[in-house]
Amino acid sequence: MVDRLANSEANSKRIAVVESCFGAAGQPLAIPGRVLIGEGVLTKLCRKKPKARQFFLFNDILVYGNIVIQKKKYNKQHIIPLESVTIDTVPDEGDLRNGWLIKTPTKSFAVYAATATEKSEWMNHIGKCVGDLLQKSGKTPTGEHAAVWVPDSEAAVCMRCQKVKFTPVSRRHHCRKCGYVVCGPCSEKKFLLPSQSSKPVRVCEYCYVQLTSGSLVPRSDSINRPGSKFNSNNLSDDDDEDDSSD
């Protein structure tokens, strides 16, 4: 079906509409063989709070952006190559239901659909697109992904030292390796994580010791964080609108 749509006029028009909605600030999306599989609004767990984002699934990329005017204008376009994507379901809890993780070497975050059926459709389509791409390229699924950030609201105190209480003066920071919310003194070090940045990025003291000694650090989405009510479904990435330099 994808092959039939690749060069169809209907597919070209649909992609042109997406491009026009992002305007000059977005990148061109129409290339030979690219097909728009589906689109919809998902709730993305950002650093500060969950926010609605418009997502577009193509057969080779996942695109999302901020909603300015629904179905008419979007900004802050993000493009994720599907070859590097892995997905995992997350359990329902409270108002956060029908969610899953989108994990890549450079960025990982949780999204939530309106219904269980919608979640199943998104995950099935993404999984099939990733599988088809890997089969065609002969590549193997990526084994590394960026840490998923713990939302600010999940940590009243530093998740490493368990002593420093966060205030307007004592700011929250995020370790780029484990995703913990940590205080300034516990995250003074920087380390080069090539998949995330060409420059050294902030890491906590614990991860810095592990990285410099060559030891492996457990993934942030598979470990329990001491002293926090955090659980596996409270996973965010840096907020698209807020300053994420820390």
CATH number at 4 reads: 2.30.29.30
Same domain, 118 and 209: no
Q: How far apart are CA 29 and CA 78, in angstroms?
A: 12
Domain assignment of residue 236, yes or no:
no
Total count of domains within the chain: 2
Query: What pLDDT was estimated at residue 221?
Result: 44
Same domain, 21 and 91: yes
Query: What pLDDT was estimated at residue 72?
Result: 92
Same domain, 86 and 23: yes
Domain hosting residue 185, numbered range? 152-213
* DSSP track, 192-210: --TTT-SS-EEE-HHHHHH
The pLDDT tens digits for 37-55 are: 999 999 999 988 899 999 9
Same domain, 90 and 157: no
Same domain, 14 and 59: yes
Query: What pLDDT was estimated at residue 235?
Result: 46
Same domain, 131 and 32: yes
Q: How far apart are CA 15 and CA 19, in angstroms?
A: 6
pTM of the complete model: 0.82
Same domain, 102 and 182: no
Query: What pLDDT was estimated at residue 6?
Result: 67
What token pair was written down for 72? 């008419």
Q: Residue 21: helix, strand or coil by DSSP?
A: helix
Domain assignment of residue 7, yes or no:
yes
Same domain, 71 and 168: no
Domain assignment of residue 226, yes or no:
no
Same domain, 23 and 125: yes
Domain boundary (137, 164, 195) is at 137
Query: What pLDDT was estimated at residue 20?
Result: 97
Same domain, 101 and 193: no
Query: What pLDDT was estimated at residue 164?
Result: 97
Query: What pLDDT was estimated at residue 163?
Result: 96
Amino acid at 40: G
Query: What pLDDT was estimated at residue 123?
Result: 98
Domain assignment of residue 21, yes or no:
yes
Query: What pLDDT was estimated at residue 143?
Result: 77
Query: Which residues of the chain fall below pLDDT 50?
Result: 217-246
Same domain, 129 and 169: no
